[in-house]
């Protein structure tokens, strides 16, 4: 165990620094450019920790100054998860190399690395809080620990996750991939609106670079909303709003260039997207037909659980009460995906039998 600790813990610090040092530089540069009311150099360092925490999807409790009104920030960019993934995988790979790929030590090393990484996230959540901004510390246990364990399991000799996970994750990846293509097309068709939203912000050179980076990181959130839209349930852009093929209730929107892809009204023809999700359920049957019914059921369960996770990750609050509901409704999105995939699977199983009998 001492050998595992000696190999894993230094790599935990290295993985943390891999992301924390660049964010510290960005925060320090932004602080030096914009100035500060207090002139305390601890501000950019605390901000760097907040960026690091936010990249791991840990939400924040806020007290909006000067009024002190409560706020909540949980609609965080899913694209930022790519940086912790790369950092964790790199650290685990180096840990395994230091252990000379000893198979008896790899599993404990993964666990020690994940626990050490989670403890740093927990400590950062505690020590970076202020009266106005407080990271929700227990999400470090809920999010970071299983996330780091999953990333560590993909390094070296991979942990067997079963055929149900394989096919269930593939079908959700297919739906998200097609949604990404559709979102890109919609963004190109509304490029003039995107330019207008960018012009309104007037971000400047450095601000424009940060705005571009922020929009890139929020693209996965937009892809989840696109899938929810074409599944029929739609998504929200603020409290009391709903953008779906059958309903269009929209108030003022943030000046976010990605929102230029929003539709202008109801669009019943977009319900055709439901047929694609149903077809994906039938495709899942064709993938597992040569195996057995148990694999099909496991694949459907995994797909539904992943849809619930994606829906939860693609929703949240954006600081103010007016933006307390942004993104998809988790339960509506999960229910729609489950019903449409299940209906497609039933059609693929029983329709050929009915046609054969008739």
Is the per-residue pLDDT at 318 higher than 90?
A: no
Report the distance separating Cα 339 and Cα 243, nearest Å. 21
Please give the pLDDT value at position 34.
Answer: 63
> In the predicted model, what is the mean pLDDT of residues 131-136?
89
* pLDDT-above-90 percentage for the chain: 41
- Give the global pTM: 0.89
Distance (Å, whole) CA 111 – CA 338 = 33
pLDDT at 293 over 70: yes
pLDDT computed for residue 67 by the predictor? 67
pLDDT tops 90 at residue 289: no
5-56 per-position pLDDT tens digit: 888 889 999 999 998 888 888 778 777 766 555 556 677 888 889 999 999 9
pLDDT in the model for residue 4? 84
DSSP 118-146: HHHHHHHHHHT--SSEEE-TTHIIIIIHH
Q: Which helix (H) or strand (E) holds 73?
A: strand 69-73
Higher-confidence residue: 245 or 153? Answer: 245
Which 3 state secondary structure label does DSSP give 327? strand
What's residue 3's pLDDT? 84
∠ CA 172-164-329, rounded to 5° = 35
pLDDT at position 122 is 94
Q: What is the predicted pLDDT for the residue at 100?
A: 79
CA angle 122, 126, 127 (to 5 degrees): 115
């Amino acid at each position: 165990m001492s050998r595992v600790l000696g190999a894993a813990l230094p790599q935990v610090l290295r993985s943390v620094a891999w992301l924390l040092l660049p964010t510290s530089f960005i925060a320090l540069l932004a602080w030096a450019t914009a100035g500060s009311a207090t002139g305390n150099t601890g501000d950019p360092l605390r901000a760097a920790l907040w960026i690091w925490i936010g990249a791991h999807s840990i939400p924040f409790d806020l007290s909006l100054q000067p009024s002190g009104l409560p706020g909540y920030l949980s609609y965080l960019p899913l694209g930022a998860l790519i940086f912790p993934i790369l950092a964790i995988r790199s650290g685990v790979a180096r840990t395994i190399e230091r252990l000379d790929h000893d198979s008896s030590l790899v599993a404990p090393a993964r666990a020690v690395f994940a626990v050490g990484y989670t403890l740093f996230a927990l400590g950062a959540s505690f020590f970076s809080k202020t009266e106005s901004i407080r990271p929700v510390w227990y999400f470090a246990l809920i999010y970071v620990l299983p996330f780091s364990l999953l990333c560590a399991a993909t390094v070296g000799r991979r942990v067997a996750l079963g055929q149900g996970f394989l096919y269930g994750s593939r079908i959700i990846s297919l739906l998200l991939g097609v949604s990404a293509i559709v979102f890109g097309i919609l963004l190109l068709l509304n490029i003039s609106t995107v330019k207008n939203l960018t012009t309104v912000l007037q971000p400047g050179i450095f601000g424009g670079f940060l705005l571009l980076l922020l929009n890139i990181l929020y693209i996965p959130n937009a892809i989840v909303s696109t899938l929810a839209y074409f599944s029929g349930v739609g998504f929200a852009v603020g409290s009391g709003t709903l953008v779906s093929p059958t309903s269009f209730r929209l108030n003022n929107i943030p000046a976010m260039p990605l929102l230029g892809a929003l539709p202008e009204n109801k669009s019943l023809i977009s319900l055709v997207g439901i047929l694609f999700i149903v077809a994906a359920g039938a495709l899942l049957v064709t993938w597992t037909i040569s195996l057995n019914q148990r694999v099909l059921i496991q694949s459907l369960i995994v797909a539904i659980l992943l849809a619930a996770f994606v829906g939860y990750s693609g929703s949240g609050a954006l600081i103010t009460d007016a933006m307390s509901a942004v993104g998809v409704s988790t339960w509506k999105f999960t229910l729609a995906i489950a019903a449409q995939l299940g209906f497609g699977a039933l059609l693929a199983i029983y329709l050929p039998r009915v046609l054969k009998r008739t």
